[in-house]
Structure 1
Amino acid sequence: MTVTSASLSRFALLTNATSFGPLSWRGGLELTSTNTKFGGLSGLIMSDECTSLRAVSDAGRWLTATVAYNKNALSGLTTASVVPILDHKGKPPPGKRWGDAEAIAAGPNGKTIVGFESRTRVGAYDLAGKGMTARFQNLNPPKDIVRGKRNGELESVGYFNSGALKGYYIAVAETNLDTQGNTKAWAWNGKRSIAFSIKQLASYEITDIALLPNGDVLVLQRSYSAMTLPGMAMSRFPASDIKQGKTIQPQTLLDVRAPFYAIDNMEGLAVCERNGELRLNILSDNNFNTGRQRTLLLQFAYTP
């Protein structure tokens, strides 16, 4: 499959700024393809050195591609392919409700974690061992994950390789809110589970998380509705804040709006390291609505 990459010359569209608090611009791409299977990308992971990506679409597909650079900045995608995400029987999803993949993260032992929203579930795929023939293996998330607003139960997943919750999985809802209007979240390891909440910014929804090398949690928030200008916000909190019944208020790192910044419906977040820098990669979901929405891939160096 051919994916065309158009470089974004800047992130701030009205100035020449390249630094935004702790974030420094490392390029961006607008991605298009004539292949009708391309689009609807909701979650993202990147390889070491940020040279390849894997994303999931809400149509139940994997996207894999090689990431190219020019002078330390994003320049394009090559060798892209799209294949179905298989269920536990090794079959493609029977429809959009079963294929609604919204989240992806690196898991233990080389496995890849995927979270599905409409038919809410979290599972692992042994892509390292079995490639694209890998089947869904249920990770048995807490049952409360499915008890939320329809089509808003699950939006983000992750796995702690280090820090206070090493060995735990984490999942965050989209519009499943507690009684105070904060976003519900869960961490679990086997039968042990922790239910907590994350306070989102006004008019924003949490669309993804990514875990830093020390175990801290980065949070991507998106504002996208008929009532507001499209917005993107980034925030952070330590894993040690995760405690049963607690509401976490993350530290805001960035809060920007279109049309002043090159953003769209931002849904995917991934962390990788390149040239000694911690890089944040942010992906937008065009919902297969190419006339009104774009697929953007943005990259920043992050200095904590």
Structure 2
Amino acid sequence: MRLNRRLFLIGGGVTAAAAVVAERTLARPRAAAAITPIDISARPIDHFSVTDQSRNRFGDLLFRGGLDLRSSDSRFGGFSALWRSPDGARLVSVADNAQWLTARVQTSDGRLSGLAEAKLAPLLHENGRPLGSTGYYDTESLTIENGVAYVGIERKHAIMRFDWGASGVAARGTLLTLPEAIRGEIKDLPSNRSLEAIGVAPPRSPLAGSVIAIAERSGDADEPTRGFIVTGPRRGAFWVRRAKGYDISDLAFLPSGEMLLLERHFSLFEGFRIRMRRVAADAIKPDVEVDGAVIFESDSSHQIDNMEGLAVHQEGGETVLTLISDDNFSPFQKTLLLEFALKA
């Protein structure tokens, strides 16, 4: 989701002229018209806390390193979702202008060092048109499982299925048929706060193979938000508890079947905060309210931005979590790629 943070960008006594410039920077650029190689520079982030650089444990997370990513291509940015291959070697992201990013992950001494072979490409409708030229332009969530990519789309409140294993970024999206029991509820979600998180439950989950989607926020203040079991024999809707102003920004499943929820909060005075919860594997079922233990919550000393994407993979016996930020195509924000090991 594109947060309305114009007050943040133009506040603090900035002149009216600068305010106009800031306003214009928030427009989404048009996605690449075809598969386009790009160069990405990466500044290493060696410590997560700027006040205690020797610290590497944050709640249940162990910081492994990060990157501040930049490109001279103005279409680079806006990344709202993230996937990494099972070995962590490849990365796929979706930007909120209906654009893919693919890259090979580079490491040095076990830490992130850069992205190579990076490409941008438009997401395609089943008729071959770029999604950016259709009503399905606001792509916000992504998961890839068993060669199939599922992309959640705001405003249209839809999920598209891409045959990723066969065609990669050239795959054409087809709309996933929503069950009648939840179709109306999904269509009634707020226009710009809908399917922000999506995942496929792993084999050890009671919902194995089911597509799970959660709305960023479906009510006011700290009211629970709506979640959906979209496919499988236990299809239906559930609730996800919210608190402290956090909105859902992504989800990812652990091999155990547990679900991680990435949450994000923004305010004019505090800037960005993020939080992560761990939900039991058997907690997700129709007509219940889901909650989970908080395993991490950021503070003002942490190097974060608008963290919207979460991916999980296994590496050397560790469960590795990777986060990416959505810079809203604004020069006032950053595209950060952060990597943690789950230690509990």
8 Å CA contact 2:222–2:243 kept in 1: the answer is no
Distance (Å, rounded) in 2 between the aligned partners of 1:227 and 1:273: 37
Q: Deviations over 1:87-108 (max 9, x none)?
A: 121210244852211000023x
Distance (Å, rounded) in 1 between the aligned partners of 2:315 and 2:153: 30
Root-mean-square deviation (Å): 1.7
Describe the SS at the equivalent of 2:136: helix
8 Å CA contact 1:257–1:263 kept in 2: the answer is no
Superposed displacement of residue 122, structure 1: 0.5
Q: Deviations over 1:222-256 (max 9, x none)?
A: 11232533101111102311122211121100011
Aligned to 1:171: 213
Q: Which of the two has higher C-alpha Rg?
A: 2
**TM-score, normalised with respect to structure 1:** 0.94
The ranges of structure 1 where at least 4 consecutive aligned residues each deviate by more than 3 angstroms after the TM superposition are: 94-97
Aligned to 1:43: 81
Query: Do residues 138 (structure 1) and 175 (structure 2) align?
Result: yes
Describe the SS at the equivalent of 1:161: coil
8 Å CA contact 1:230–1:265 kept in 2: the answer is yes
Aligned to 1:241: 283
8 Å CA contact 1:59–1:96 kept in 2: the answer is no
Aligned to 1:295: 335
Q: 2:231 aligns with which of 167, 180, 189?
A: 189
Q: Deviations over 1:179-237 (max 9, x none)?
A: 97111101132575221111123121110000111211000001123253310111110
Query: Do residues 211 (structure 1) and 248 (structure 2) align?
Result: no
| Identity percentage of aligned residues | 34
Describe the SS at the equivalent of 1:129: helix
Q: 1:29 to 1:97 in 2, by over 3 A?
A: farther
Structure 1 residues 268-283: aligned runs within 5 Å: 268-283=309-324
Q: 1:257 to 1:18 in 2, by over 3 A?
A: same
Aligned to 1:157: 198
Describe the SS at the equivalent of 2:282: helix
The amino acid of 2:188's aligned partner reads R
Distance (Å, rounded) in 2 between the aligned partners of 1:119 and 1:88: 16
Distance (Å, rounded) in 2 between the aligned partners of 1:180 and 1:46: 31
Distance (Å, rounded) in 2 between the aligned partners of 1:94 and 1:263: 28
**TM-score, normalised with respect to structure 2:** 0.84
**Which stretch of the first structure deviates more once superposed, 143-152 or 205-214?**
143-152
Describe the SS at the equivalent of 2:77: coil
* More strand per residue: 1
Superposed displacement of residue 137, structure 1: 2.1
The amino acid of 2:47's aligned partner reads R
* Alignment gaps of 5+ in structure 2: 1-37
Aligned to 2:60: 22
The amino acid of 1:73's aligned partner reads R
* Alignment gaps of 5+ in structure 1: none
Aligned to 1:229: 271
8 Å CA contact 1:42–1:268 kept in 2: the answer is yes
Superposed displacement of residue 111, structure 1: 0.8
**Which stretch of the first structure deviates more once superposed, 2-11 or 145-154?**
145-154
Q: 1:262 to 1:94 in 2, by over 3 A?
A: closer
